[in-house]
Amino acid sequence: MALKDVGNKVPIYKLKTTEEVMRYYDEWGEKDKYNRDMVDWNYTGPKETVDVIKKYLINKDALFFDAGCGTGLVGLQLKKFGYENFHGADLSQKLLDTVPKNLYQKLFKIDLNERIELSDNLYDSVMCVGTFTFGHVKSGALDEFARITKPGGLICFTINEGIYKDYGFDKKILDLKANNKWEEMVFFKSDYIASKDVNAWLGLYKVK
């Protein structure tokens, strides 16, 4: 069976460098175009991930780290279910500037491909939705997510199907399991961007 040509489904997937991606986001964030495109494309990543994690994380006072928070779509979904405590991080200042006021207690401009300058065992949950994709954040970020999450905490993420193996996410997930860093709770292929016929692997893991 032929592989899906995922890389040509969305314009930003064709970009290769961080600099190219950032220039694109700076333009995409103008006049709410990013948010409007997410609605038009039927982007379901934020809703799907929150629908999963709310079944396992009962504590409404839990502190979340939204890695690659963009315009705050995950935070908005979490708030619908009574969660209140969010820190967000993104590399695009333009997108961070569009996050609804008072939704996140802290926002950081961070390159998630580098070490995250935050303490170990800080968060009850890390969410990373729409960020593991072409030209964006690589699989090494999962090590950092495990480090900053409390033992027993949850890491929930999507990985674009087009980069799952090419960027080494398949091996990284297995390595973290083999090294007893986390255990798998949920892992399945989600709709993600159904209108573009782009799927993503959705994973939920508990930190050991």
Of 117, 153, 160, the closest CA to residue 139 belongs to 160
Rounded Cα–Cα distance for residues 177 and 51 (Å): 24
Give the DSSP letter string of 133-186: STTS--TTHHHHHHHHEEEEEEEEEEEETTTTTTTTHHHHHHHHHHTTSEEEEE
Dig out the tokens for 126 from the structure. 């890390």
Rounded Cα–Cα distance for residues 44 and 73 (Å): 10
pLDDT at 40: 80
What torsion, rounded to 10 degrees, do the Cα atoms 3, 9, 12, 17 define? 20
Rounded Cα–Cα distance for residues 109 and 158 (Å): 21
Q: Are 10 and 1 in contact (CB under 8 A)?
A: no
Residues of the chain where predicted confidence (pLDDT) is lower than 70 = 1-12, 15-16, 31
pLDDT at 173: 98
Domains of the chain by range and CATH? 50-207 (3.40.50.150)
Does the pTM exceed 0.75? yes
pLDDT at 181: 98
pLDDT at 208: 96
